[in-house]
A and B are shown apart, each in its own frame.
Chain A
Amino acid sequence: MSIVIKNIGKKFGENTILEDVNYAMEPGKVNMIIGMSGSGKSVLLKCMVGLLSPDEGEVLFDGQNFHQADFQGQRDIRKNIGMLFQASALFDSLTVEENVAFPLKMFTTNPKKEIAERVRFCLDRVNLVNVGHLLPSEISGGMKKRVGIARAIAMQPKYLFCDEPNSGLDPLTASVIDHLIYELTHEYQMTTVVVSHDMNSVTNIGDKIMFLSNKTKAWEGDKNALMHSDNPGLNEFVFVSDFMKQKIN
């Protein structure tokens, strides 16, 4: 269940986004990637899940280099990946139930009844009841995120990736989503990677944290170390609000 990134570099044209990023995710924990807007967090996440190819470096899932694997090898790794997107990315022509069932129908030969049971279990697990027949356009933003989580865990993945899971949500709903991610990570012993710039999320659920700045990893540690870091860039990011300043005092 380990994810290790080595010497990752990514450019778009002449614009360098990431340079020599090294990091080992803590297996079975919530690993947060934090940084300013435009620091390359989402690009790094997309390199990790194979939506972008890094120009340099490698991403290792249990020692297997994702980007050097052939199509079948990548497909096998991807079967173990669940991802929650920033805008949920639910298929808008499918109902909530069909969205959750989608990976099960694509990758398993399970009978319909078994798939329906798994869908019901996943929706129950994210506290969604009686919405299975609705289309994504008919449910709220927080519910969409929960459906996204249900779809991500449907295949019982070993790795869960979340891109800004609580962006655009009110603080209460954001907290619900955060705790859901935390609970599921520990319940299913998944290695979870969360990209966020929400310090509430970081302090609530981050088991291990990486701070991206100036195109590379500028700091790593746990949330206690985060509060007492002497990294000026990190402190500027973390203690930008009075609330966080008071929290440390």
Chain B
Amino acid sequence: MVSVGVGSIVIVIITSVFIGAVTTVQTAYQLVSGFIPRSAIGSVVAASALLELAPTITSLVLAGKVGSHIASQLGTMRVTEQIDAIEVMGINSVGYLIMPKVIGSILAFPLLISIAAFLIILGGIVAGDWTGQVTIADFTFGARGTFETFQVVFMFTKALTFGFLISSISAYQGFYVRGGALEVGQASTRAVVFSCILVLIADYVLAQLLL
């Protein structure tokens, strides 16, 4: 939980603020018509943050950070016989090593993604105000106007799903490594690639099922 959550907070803060800022600037660039109120920028950015940007982009970032960490940690334990040592003692190594990581991720992802959603919107507000594209009042008016509670439910559903997928895929890749340092590196890469692909597939499936 600490490793996944606290250890990832800085990268989540940095990516979220910039994603929010960029989304605001690019949305403003596309909404050039005088018939569209500037508050629409707030609507688009806030809805995008909750529905897609916070859960999916943050999860892709976390797949790189958390996924590679879990896979390389377990892989190193495997090739240096630390997992064998646990098994010889009669301890269920899957329960002892993998379960806490999966549970920790399932708990930490919603928290991180909530922070990400908040910071994306905040980054959007700040960027909109600084660049003069949209005032704070217009942005928040637009964001609140189209807000639905279901968007938050959808975000948390994605967060739980992605947290489970990334941690379990990465743990599997690391736990069953055979070989040495080279194979640990390869497992770490596979963990990130497979996690990203599965997150994107699950993203589509959830959108299709729930929206």
Enumerate chain A interface residues (CB-CB to B < 8 A).
Answer: 46, 49-51, 74-79, 81, 83, 85-87, 89-92, 102-103, 106-107, 161
Having A85-B81, A91-B82, one finds 16 other A-B pairs with CB under 8 Å, namely: A46-B84, A50-B88, A51-B84, A51-B87, A51-B88, A74-B90, A79-B90, A81-B88, A81-B89, A83-B85, A83-B88, A86-B81, A87-B81, A89-B81, A89-B82, A106-B89
Query: Is B146 engaged at the interface, CB distance under 8 Å to the other chain?
Result: no
In the assembled complex, the Cα of A76 lies from the Cα of B77 at a distance in Å of 24
Are A78 and B81 neighbours in the complex by a CB distance under 8 Å?
no
Question: Which residues of the partner chain B approach A89 to less than 8 Å between Cβ atoms?
Answer: 80-82, 84-85
Are A103 and B89 neighbours in the complex by a CB distance under 8 Å?
yes
In the assembled complex, the Cα of A85 lies from the Cα of B81 at a distance in Å of 7
Instruction: Output the nearest chain B residue to A85 by Cβ-Cβ distance.
Output: B81
Instruction: Output the nearest chain B residue to A94 by Cβ-Cβ distance.
Output: B82
CB proximity to A under 8 Å, residues B78-111: 80-82, 84-85, 87-91
In the assembled complex, the Cα of A106 lies from the Cα of B172 at a distance in Å of 24
13 contacting pairs across A/B (C-beta < 8 A): A50-B88, A51-B84, A74-B90, A78-B88, A85-B84, A87-B80, A89-B80, A91-B77, A91-B85, A106-B89, A106-B91, A107-B89, A107-B90
Instruction: Output the nearest chain B residue to A151 by Cβ-Cβ distance.
Output: B85
In the assembled complex, the Cα of A77 lies from the Cα of B87 at a distance in Å of 12
The SS class assigned to the B binding surface is helix
CB proximity to A under 8 Å, residues B46-88: 76-77, 80-82, 84-85, 87-88
Question: Which residues of the partner chain A approach B88 to less than 8 Å between Cβ atoms?
Answer: 49-51, 78, 81, 83, 161
Q: A75-B90, A106-B89, A106-B91 are in contact. Are A92 and B82 (CB under 8 A)?
A: yes
In the assembled complex, the Cα of A79 lies from the Cα of B88 at a distance in Å of 9
In the assembled complex, the Cα of A89 lies from the Cα of B77 at a distance in Å of 8
Question: Which residues of the partner chain B approach A92 to less than 8 Å between Cβ atoms?
Answer: 76, 80, 82
Instruction: Output the nearest chain B residue to A91 by Cβ-Cβ distance.
Output: B82
Per the CB 8 Å criterion, the residue count for chain B at the interface is 12
Enumerate chain B interface residues (CB-CB to A < 8 A).
Answer: 76-77, 80-82, 84-85, 87-91
In the assembled complex, the Cα of A103 lies from the Cα of B87 at a distance in Å of 11
Question: Which residues of the partner chain A approach B91 to less than 8 Å between Cβ atoms?
Answer: 106
Nearest Cβ distance between residue A39 and chain B, in whole angstroms?
20
Question: Which residues of the partner chain B approach A75 to less than 8 Å between Cβ atoms?
Answer: 90
Q: Which of B76, B81, B88 has the largest count of A CB atoms less than 10 A from its CB?
A: B88
Nearest Cβ distance between residue A70 and chain B, in whole angstroms?
12
Instruction: Output the nearest chain B residue to A93 by Cβ-Cβ distance.
Output: B73
Kindly list the 5 A-B residue pairs having the minimum CB-CB distance in the complex, ordered from nearest. Answer: A78-B90, A89-B81, A75-B90, A89-B85, A85-B81
Q: Which of A81, A86, A89, A106 has the largest count of B CB atoms less than 10 A from its CB?
A: A89
Are B81 and A50 neighbours in the complex by a CB distance under 8 Å?
no
Question: Which residues of the partner chain B approach A102 to less than 8 Å between Cβ atoms?
Answer: 89
Nearest Cβ distance between residue B75 and chain A, in whole angstroms?
13
In the assembled complex, the Cα of A46 lies from the Cα of B88 at a distance in Å of 9
In the assembled complex, the Cα of A113 lies from the Cα of B122 at a distance in Å of 51
Nearest Cβ distance between residue A109 and chain B, in whole angstroms?
16
Instruction: Output the nearest chain B residue to A163 by Cβ-Cβ distance.
Output: B81
In the assembled complex, the Cα of A95 lies from the Cα of B90 at a distance in Å of 21
Question: Which residues of the partner chain B approach A87 to less than 8 Å between Cβ atoms?
Answer: 80-81
In the assembled complex, the Cα of A78 lies from the Cα of B87 at a distance in Å of 9
In the assembled complex, the Cα of A163 lies from the Cα of B89 at a distance in Å of 15
Are B89 and A78 neighbours in the complex by a CB distance under 8 Å?
yes
Question: Which residues of the partner chain B approach A86 to less than 8 Å between Cβ atoms?
Answer: 81
In the assembled complex, the Cα of A77 lies from the Cα of B80 at a distance in Å of 24
Instruction: Output the nearest chain A residue to B81 by Cβ-Cβ distance.
Output: A89
In the assembled complex, the Cα of A83 lies from the Cα of B85 at a distance in Å of 7
In the assembled complex, the Cα of A79 lies from the Cα of B87 at a distance in Å of 11
In the assembled complex, the Cα of A11 lies from the Cα of B192 at a distance in Å of 33
Question: Which residues of the partner chain A approach B85 to less than 8 Å between Cβ atoms?
Answer: 83, 85, 89, 91
In the assembled complex, the Cα of A234 lies from the Cα of B76 at a distance in Å of 36
In the assembled complex, the Cα of A85 lies from the Cα of B83 at a distance in Å of 11
Question: Which residues of the partner chain B approach A77 to less than 8 Å between Cβ atoms?
Answer: 90
Instruction: Output the nearest chain B residue to A72 by Cβ-Cβ distance.
Output: B90
Nearest Cβ distance between residue B101 and chain A, in whole angstroms?
13
In the assembled complex, the Cα of A86 lies from the Cα of B84 at a distance in Å of 11
Question: Which residues of the partner chain B approach A78 to less than 8 Å between Cβ atoms?
Answer: 88-90
